[in-house]
């Protein structure tokens, strides 16, 4: 089987490696050339100089898998692919696109006779070794056509991937997955902060995270990863308390509002990330001044 893989960032490059090691021929294209040359040398990937060149190297029906940032990069690439693809060809979109965009693109491509499969992809930098969890949306015939790729990328051919519904369902499922991820991470972070704050017990965070990994109801892969870095450094004093948020966390909260479904944990986890990103703390300054205005409470200044 031979496919084109467009977008060779950290995840895309590792997916190319896993596909090649699973016996799939991969034609790779990326805007920057260095990673292409590296994968050609290391994995025997076939290089492409452009989207058109990547498509030209594929047998019909062609399969082009995109691993690009959501928004304009994905939108532009799909628009560029439409004129060079033919009826019966398939685009797989493995990035974190908004499912509304996915549904819209699916309708556009269907009118051209081009199949569209959306694959919500989880696994991060560990996907090469452990395999990827793939949440797939699309028409059954199109999903069946790309199933050998899914089986190769997944942890095993019979698990870690599933056809979850029509076009858009894959990215929707991944969006909710990421919202849950926010909530789980926030719960762990708050719990560890409470443990750390009880100074009289001098708790060993590395010991406790390792302890909880075995038999505890809160064990998880997130806890495994936390235990790993706690063994190396549990003070974390060199780490800025800044936590980025992806679009999918915001989209999940928006979805809860649109559906009228209460999701307080997911919503507050997102808000806590916003709070970590507030470099200037203007709102908290206003709070301090209000307390001073009505009660004469002390206001701490930067000089103090």
Output the 3-class SS for 5-35.
EECCCHHHHHHHHHHHHCCCEEEEECCCCHH
| Residue 97, both tokens | 């696109």
Confidence at residue 48, expressed as pLDDT on a 0 to 100 scale: 98
- How do the pLDDT tens digits run along the chain, 304 residues long? 999 999 999 999 999 999 999 999 999 999 999 999 999 999 999 999 999 999 999 999 999 999 999 999 999 999 999 999 999 999 999 999 999 999 999 999 999 999 999 999 999 889 999 999 999 999 999 999 999 999 999 999 999 999 999 999 999 999 999 999 999 999 999 999 999 999 999 999 999 999 999 999 999 999 999 999 999 999 999 999 999 998 899 999 999 999 999 999 999 999 999 999 998 899 999 999 999 999 888 988 876 5
CA distance 49 to 31: 9
Confidence at residue 304, expressed as pLDDT on a 0 to 100 scale: 53
Tell me the CA distances in angstroms from 162 to 94, 120, 137, 274, one per residue in order: 14, 10, 9, 33
Which residues are CB-contacts of 201 (< 8 A; sequence separation ≥ 6)?
none
CB-count burial class (<10 Å; 0-12, 13-18, 19+) for 119: buried
Which domains are seen in the chain, by residue range? 2-167 (3.40.50.720), 175-283 (1.10.1040.10)
Q: Identify the CA nearest to 30 among candidates 52, 50, 11.
A: 50
Contact between residue 149 and residue 121 where contact means Cβ atoms under 8 Å apart = no
Helix (H, G, I), strand (E, B) or coil at 133: strand
Beta bridge partners of 156: 159
Confidence at residue 47, expressed as pLDDT on a 0 to 100 scale: 98
Confidence at residue 246, expressed as pLDDT on a 0 to 100 scale: 83
What DSSP designation does 201 have? G
Residues known to be catalytic: 174, 181
Buried b (16+ CB within 10 A) or exposed e, 196-218: eeeeeeebebbebbbebbeeeee
Q: Identify the CA nearest to 92 among candidates 50, 128, 132, 146.
A: 146
Q: Identify the CA nearest to 30 among candidates 3, 6, 10.
A: 6
CA distance 199 to 144: 57
Helix (H, G, I), strand (E, B) or coil at 167: coil
Confidence at residue 45, expressed as pLDDT on a 0 to 100 scale: 98
CA distance 270 to 273: 5
The pTM assigned to this predicted structure is 0.93
| Residue 95, both tokens | 């990035």
């Amino acid at each position: 089987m031979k496919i084109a893989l467009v977008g060779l960032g950290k995840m895309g490059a590792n997916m190319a490696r896993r596909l090649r090691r699973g016996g799939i021929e991969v034609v790779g294209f990326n805007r920057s050339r260095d990673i292409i040359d590296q994968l050609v040398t290391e994995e025997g990937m076939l290089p492409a100089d452009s989207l058109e060149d990547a498509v030209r190297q594929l047998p019909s029906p062609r399969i082009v898998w995109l691993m690009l940032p959501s928004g304009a990069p994905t939108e532009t690439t799909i628009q560029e692919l439409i004129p060079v693809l033919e009826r019966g060809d398939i685009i797989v979109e493995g990035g974190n696109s908004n499912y509304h965009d996915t549904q819209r693109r699916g309708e556009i491509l269907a009118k051209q006779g081009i199949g569209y499969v959306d694959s919500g992809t989880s696994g991060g930098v560990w996907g090469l070794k452990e395999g990827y969890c793939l949440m797939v949306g699309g028409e059954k015939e199109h999903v069946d056509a790309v199933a050998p790729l899914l089986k190769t990328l997944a942890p095993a051919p019979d698990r870690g991937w599933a056809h979850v519904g029509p076009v858009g369902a894959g990215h929707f499922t991944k969006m909710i997955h990421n919202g849950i991820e926010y909530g789980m991470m926030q719960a762990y972070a708050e719990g560890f902060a409470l443990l750390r704050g009880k100074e009289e017990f001098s708790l060993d965070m590395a010991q406790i995270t390792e302890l909880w990994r075995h038999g505890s109801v809160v064990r998880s892969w997130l806890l495994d990863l936390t235990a790993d870095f706690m063994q190396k450094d549990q003070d974390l004093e060199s780490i800025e308390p800044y936590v980025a948020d992806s679009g999918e966390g915001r989209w999940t909260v928006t979805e809860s509002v649109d559906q009228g479904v209460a999701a307080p944990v997911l919503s507050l986890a997102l808000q806590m990330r916003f709070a970590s990103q507030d470099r200037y703390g203007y709102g908290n300054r206003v709070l301090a001044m209000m307390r001073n205005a009505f009660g004469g409470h002390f206001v701490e200044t930067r000089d103090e």
